Every structure is written in structure tokens, then in C-alpha cells.
Structure 1
């Protein structure tokens, strides 16, 4: 399995949802992320990372609240947002930063 560093080094944008199982807004984001991923197809990677199972990563990126979303490309953090998003917001952010 690829490491987080390898995943975010991708040429394609990588949209990451830092979430927790106990978080109601995170659970509501599941279907929204799935729809966004279907719309985006192969133009971007969409990943979910459980902060309780990946505490070192959550600490490294200073995740203080969930859901927190980040967009990486070529290893660089391009964008960050805490709180819920709509499907179109996710798509717009990815298209805005896509190079």
C-alpha cells in the first residue's frame, strides 16, 4: 500500500476527507463525496482518512475538527477547509486548483 507521502505526490489532485466515525457531519459527507468522485472520474483522487486510526497524520496536519478537507497535488497542500461542503463546492475547488 502506498504511503500518504506517495499518495499526495500524485500529478492528479488528491482531495482528502479527514473524518471520524463518531462525527455526524462526517457521516453525512459520505454520499456527497461519493457523488463528487463519480462526477470527477479519473481527473482527481478522493480519499477518506479516519483521524482516530491515523492519529499521527491528524496531528501532523493539525486536524482540530472534523470533517476537515485538504487538496494536495505534487506533494503540496493547495487548499484546506473545515466543515461540511456541497458536492459542487468540492468539484469547483478541484477544478480551480487543477494544473
Structure 2
């Protein structure tokens, strides 16, 4: 679901993006799911089951989801709204019914409200800042090439994305490494969403990825938070 939310928020921000029927259905469900989460959170409910979800647009297209829950107890919560962001030319009518709980039910399929919100924070919160960081942000491929050409030491490039939780976890560690290992090389970072050429040029397949250059040429690549942090920890010895 987090992937859907990130995809659709980016897609709908693009004025020329063509939204097909499948995208509308999926986005309607994502929007409803998020509204249900927030409604439960505001009313103090910790868990819920989806009893029903109905989508209907101006053309008469309808999508319905009916959940099955044998859990006893709980409170029913109903709501309906018109979402004009998914299809601005014609509002979409969405309604849902939930079975909500303040304590964790026995059924493991219950939606964990607070757990969901914690994961959302990982996608939206800014990474922790480290005072005195030696990391330099690179904003174009030409700027990176210039840094590599003029470097007298190894160059480390942290390839990240603002929607990547492990990238945000790495950020303060990378800042700290840049201070502790300042004599070992130059520390750069690049947002792949803004400098997408780096993805194809250096075959970056996952994030975070650390590119390690020597004499202007790519020497080594480290992928993932554990591998990158282990690499720098070993340099301290």
C-alpha cells in the first residue's frame, strides 16, 4: 500500500499524466484506506477490520469490497465522502464501514492503526541532521563529473530517495562518517529522483546505494543500509 500511495501521489502531481480505470480504482482504495486510518486514530481506535468499501463514479462504474470478520465485540464506524482529487472532472463517491477495536483483537488480520501511521512517518519525516557534516549534495550529473575530475582522494556517493526509509536511516550515519573519516575521501550524496541519469549510468538497482570512485572511475558499489555502514565502520580500524 505504501508503494501505491507514493506512486499515485507522484502520478497525480504530473499534469500530463493519463489516469486509466485501473489507476482510479487503486487510488480510490488507497484514499479510502488512509481516511479510515485517520478516522480510527482520531476516535481512539487501535485496530479495525474493513466490513465494506464502495466506490462509484459519475459514469456509474462501481467497485465493492466486502470483508469477512468473525471477531466478536467492537464498534461499527461508517463514513462517506466525495473525492475530487482522483478524477477532478467528476467527483467519486466513496463509502466504507469498519469494525473497530480499542484493544488488539485475536484475529491477526486486523489493521494496526498506530503501526500504519509509524510506517507513514518513515516516508514523510525529514532525516535527522548532524551538525558539522562534510557531506555535499550533488544536483546534476555534470556537477558529479566535475567533483570526480577534481578529486584527489576517493569519492563516496550516497544514492538515495526521500521516500526510502532505509535511506533516511542512513543519512545521519553518513553525516557522522563524513566527519570521522574526512581524511579518507570526499562524501557526496545525490537524490535519484532529481538526477535520474545516475541510475542508468552506474546501474543503480536499489537504494540506498553507495558508489565508490577512485581516480574518477567507479571502483566498487555497496548496496543496502547494513552493507554501507559496515564498509565505513571497517574504515575506522
TM class by shorter-chain length? 0.7 to 0.9
1:1-99 equivalences in 2 (<5 Å) = 3-9=143-149, 10-84=151-225, 85-86=228-229, 89-90=231-232, 92=234
> What whole-Å deviation, never above 9, does each CA across 1:16-74 have from its counterpart, x for those lacking one?
11000000000000111011001012431111100000011222111111001111121
Which whole-Å CA distance do the structure 1 matches of 2:213 and 2:191 have between them? 17
User: Which structure shows the higher helix fraction?
Assistant: 1
Mean CA deviation greater in 62-71 or 37-46: 37-46
- Structure 1 runs of 4+ aligned residues shifted over 2 Å read none
Question: Higher relative contact order at CA 8 Å, sep ≥6: structure 1 or structure 2?
Answer: 1
TM-score between both structures, scaled by the size of structure 2 = 0.36
**Aligned 8 A contact 1:40 1:91 in 2:** no
Structure 1 regions of 5+ residues with no counterpart? none
Q: CA RMSD in A?
A: 2.0
SS of alignment partner, residue 3 of structure 1? helix
TM-score between both structures, scaled by the size of structure 1 = 0.82
Number of residue pairs the alignment of both structures matches: 93
Structure 2 regions of 5+ residues with no counterpart? 1-137
